[in-house]
Every structure is written in C-alpha cells, then in structure tokens.
Homo-oligomer: A and B are copies of this chain.
Amino acid sequence: MSLERADAPDISEQGLDPHRLFPADATSRKIATELYATVKDLPIVSPHGHTDPRWYAENEAFPDPAQLFIVPDHYVFRMLFSQGIDLSQLGVPRIDGGLSETDSRKIWRTFAENFHLFRATPSRMWLEHSFQEVFGWTKRISAQTADEAYDHIADCLTRPEFRPRALFERFNIEVIATTESPLDDLKWHRQIRDSGWKGRVVTAYRPDAVVDPEFEGFSANVEKFGELAGEDTTSWQGYLNAHRVRRAYFKSFGATSSDHGHATARTENLPAADAEALFQKALKGNCSPEEADAFRGHMLTEMARMSLEDGLVLQIHPGSYRNHSSGIMAAHGRDKGFDIPTQTSYVKALKPLLDAVGLEKDLSIILFTLDETAYSRELAPLAGVYPTLKLGPAWWFYDSPEGMRRYRELTTETAGFYNTVGFNDDTRAFCSIPARHDVARRVDCAYLASLVTSGRLDEDEAYEVAHDLTYRLAKQAYRL
C-alpha cells in the first residue's frame, strides 16, 4: 500500500461528459437529457455582464491564451494565489511600481502546472468547455500539455473566426448587455452602432461612481457628470436631472436596466430636504459613514422612481465586502479576487423602497444576493408577493452547479418559477459565456427532471418551464 498520492495520468482525452450535471438515476437522467435537447441550442440572452464593448467595436484578435483566460479572470488567479502563487507571477498588473510577469507562455505554464487546484470548481468546467467547444482542445491541461495547448489556442486566436464578432455570432448570442458608468461616453457602443454590424450589444446604467459619497473622487465625478449631462449638479434637482439625462442617453444605446452594487441592501425614502442636505454634505466630502449609507439607500428609491418614468429595470447587487486585503489593494488595486460575501438582510432594509414603489406593476426590481440564507427566508417570500420584485439568478460564487441547485430548491416552492428572471452570466470572460449558459441550462433541466420524477411537475409542463428559464424569462424581465 503506497502512502504517497497516486499518480494521475497526465493526459485525458475523454472530453466533456455529454450527461454532465444530470441526475444519477436513469429515469431522471433520461428526462433531463430530453429536456436539455430542446433548450441547448436556444440563443443566448445575456442581460447582465461585464464584457468589454471595445472588443465588439474594434473586433481585434484576442492577444494570447494567458491574456484571454488567466490574467483578467479573478476566479482563476484567486485560486492560484490561495495556494501561494503570487499575482505578479500570473501577470496581474501592479499599481505600486512592482513588476509583473509579461511572458504569457510562462503565466500559462504556471496555470497548467496547478490545474488540479480547480478540480470540482465551476472554473474548471467553464475552462474545459471553452477549450473544447470554442478551441477544439480536448486534452487535460497539465505541465505536460501546457505548451501544446498554448500553441493550439494561440494559433486559433490569429484566425478571423476567433475574432470577437465571429465568436459572438458562433455563440448564438441574441443580445448581450455590458455595464457602464454614467461618466462613460459610450464611444465603443457608438462605434458598434455606426459599424453596421448586426450583433446586438446594449449598455446598462451603473451609477456607483456618482451615487456613493464614499466612491473615490465622488465630488469630481458629480461635476463631470453634470458636464456630460448639461445640468448643474451642484444642486439636488440638477443632480437628479443629470441622472434623467444620462439614463436617456444610455437608453439610446439600448440600455434596459440600471445596476447598483451597494455593500448592504439598505434603502431609504427621505424627505426631499433631507436628501438634498445629505447630497450637499456628500459633495463637500463631509458625510459620516452612516450618512453616506443613508444617501446610497435613498438613491435606490430615486432610481426606482426614475425607472417608473423611463422603464429601466433596476438591479440590486448587495452584500460584497470589497477589496478585503489592504496589502493586495496597495499592491494591485481593486477587483483582485478579494471581494468577500457578507451577511445581508433584506426585509427591513427594503421596506422604505417597497413602501414607496413596491406595489407598482410597471416597475421591475431584480434582487440578487451573496448570502444564500436569504433565499428561502427573505427573498423568495418577498418576491413571491411584491409585484415589483423578481429574483436574480444565483450570483458570483454561487454561479455553479451546487449554487444553482440550491437556488432552485430554496426559492421555487415560495416564489415559483415566474418570479425569477432566467440566467445572467455576469462575466468578463468572453469565451466562458456559452459554458456558463450551458451549465445553467443543464442544472435547470436536472432540477425539472427531478420534479417530474418525484411527481411534482407534469412532464409536458417541464418542457415549457425549461424554455421559459432558458430564454423567455430573461427577455421578459429585462424588457429585451
């Protein structure tokens, strides 16, 4: 008996299991397989994400495998970092003047040597799906296959059929939303529109930089915001008008939603005078943390009121403790895998907003969470009664087979299927988009199959629901 770890064969060419993520028992597996066959080729509707509109505007080739799969993907580099590999070794840029690896092949080798760390993670599934389905690469990534894989993918990337627009079309994306700040001039969106290309790329209105008094450069941001909007944002009414103007501008580039990433789900519905006073304090940089929080909370209600006017769907993404490590923040800056979920309460937090606009049938608010305990306790009961509220899909760390399964098991019995909104890929990893939608389709079909097998849903209904969850609900909820 050997006490050392067994040697795994280094190369596997078995490829993706066609029945992956389906139930184990034969009856349910057969139903899931048949359900999936009816939805697997439906177009991708991607109503919330972070791909770069510049890709679609310029349609340049992606640089190389490491720049495509490793350097920008926080899921990938955080796992490698957790096992002692410096972010600098992975080519993640530094903001402190330090050096970071620029040899993409070297970065790729480091990744390949540590590929076992991703076992049973969604990253592994997304990566292998991309390698196989996008690039036709089916061997397992390892130290042995690293160079061959790198060369294979790098070669693909030089070819026209791997340019962003070609992939967009091959991925069968019917529409994709990007996310921009009100301070963005949307020039890439303009270039896409002017190019005559038929791919539908829309923006979304993400005003954190001008609604959060604690955002870096808040008052300068608000000043620039006023310039862009042609409004005097030193006054409260001018500031609100500037939102109206920029929202309309974003709508002219296809936006159907706004998006709000606060630390908590707090909302407020302050008297106008109080809101104005907070705004003036915020401009002067004098808000206490509590006042800043109240102002952010109040702005959600203002945004909801504007949504009633202009029809933008309002998305709330609360609960992330951003940039948790001071050391990484100092060396590499924001968004380096150190955003950590926290406990999030919704019931009292949303009451001011819901008392103001919660019964409006023409308003659509989509709630997300990083605290799964809120699914059955708070979010499904709220979305299962308020006509304005819908539940966004399993998000971020929960955008995974187990996370999606828990989401359905914890929300469906109280909120049903029709208070949910289909899938969001929420990604900046372009090649992972088909993989992520495929995981969601498979997990939903597996869940539906289990409902059929256990007599909780008739089989004919399961086909309709599978179609709804894959395609129709996203279009309807996001008004796309």
Contact = CB atoms under 8 A, between A and B. Distances in A.
Most central of A19, A38, A454 by chain B CB within 10 Å: A454
A78 interface: yes
Contacts of A397: 376, 380-381, 413-414
Nearest to A20: B455
B6 A463 contact: yes
Copies of this chain: 3
Contacts of A321: 347-348
Interface residues of A, number: 112
Interface string A110-121: 000000111111
Interface stretch (A10-18, A54-62, A148-156, A301-309): A10-18
B465 A119 contact: yes
A251 to B, nearest CB: 23
Contacts of A134: none
Interface stretch (A232-240, A289-297, A337-345): A337-345
Given A119-B417, A119-B465, 18 more contacts: A4-B472, A6-B464, A16-B455, A20-B454, A23-B24, A24-B25, A82-B383, A116-B461, A119-B416, A120-B456, A120-B457, A124-B456, A325-B358, A325-B386, A342-B345, A372-B377, A400-B413, A401-B456
28 contacts: A1-B42, A3-B42, A4-B472, A5-B472, A8-B461, A19-B455, A20-B454, A21-B456, A24-B450, A79-B416, A81-B387, A82-B385, A82-B389, A119-B461, A120-B413, A120-B456, A325-B359, A326-B355, A338-B385, A340-B347, A341-B377, A341-B378, A343-B377, A372-B377, A376-B397, A400-B414, A402-B409, A402-B410
Interface of A: 1, 3-9, 12, 14, 16-17, 19-28, 38, 41-43, 78-79, 81-84, 116-122, 124-125, 140, 321, 324-328, 337-338, 340-343, 345, 347-348, 351, 354-355, 358-359, 361, 370-373, 376-378, 380-387, 389, 397-398, 400-403, 409-410, 412-419, 450-451, 453-458, 460-461, 463-465, 467-468, 471-472
